Amino acid sequence: MQVHELMSTDVVTVPVDATVADAVDRLLGAGVGSVIVVDDAGDPMGIVTESDALRAAREVGRPLTEIDVRAVGHRPVVTTTPSTSVPGVARLMADEGVKKVPVLDGLDLVGVVTLTDVVWHLSSLREEMSAIEAAREAWSPL
């Protein structure tokens, strides 16, 4: 199974000059857990999660309209491609300590894959791995 089979293509973004309040508005409006911070060309520059917004609200002590997303977003952005295997992106998430990964096709932002997406597809992944193992056993010499 590859990333393109489970990623969300409805990517929610905010411009790099947005405030945390703008990011929260987008999060709540779209019902998602993160927004991708993009530059003028649409290239990902960071990611702001619900946790980032809550942390900023608690620690900064200023209104969210005064806090720039650049101050709270995760950088550099850990990305993947649509053709990456799901186990490969899961390993990337674990190695990098992230739960949400933007998906780039060349330079184009085409989706986002989350740890939740991976978990929801675990049974399909197990079935796929079992089928691969069965095929290997059928073709291996005795």
Instruction: Read off the pLDDT of residues 105-133 as tens digits, 9 standing for 90 and up.
Output: 998 999 999 988 888 767 666 666 665 66
Question: 49: which residues sit within 8 A by CB, 6+ positions away?
Answer: 33, 34, 74, 99, 100
Instruction: Read off the pLDDT of residues 32-86 as tens digits, 9 standing for 90 and up.
Output: 999 999 999 888 989 999 989 998 888 888 899 999 998 887 778 899 999 999 8
What band does 141 get if pLDDT is binned at 50, 70 and 90?
A: low
pLDDT at 61: 82
Place of tokens 């101050």: 71
Q: SS3 for 66? A: helix
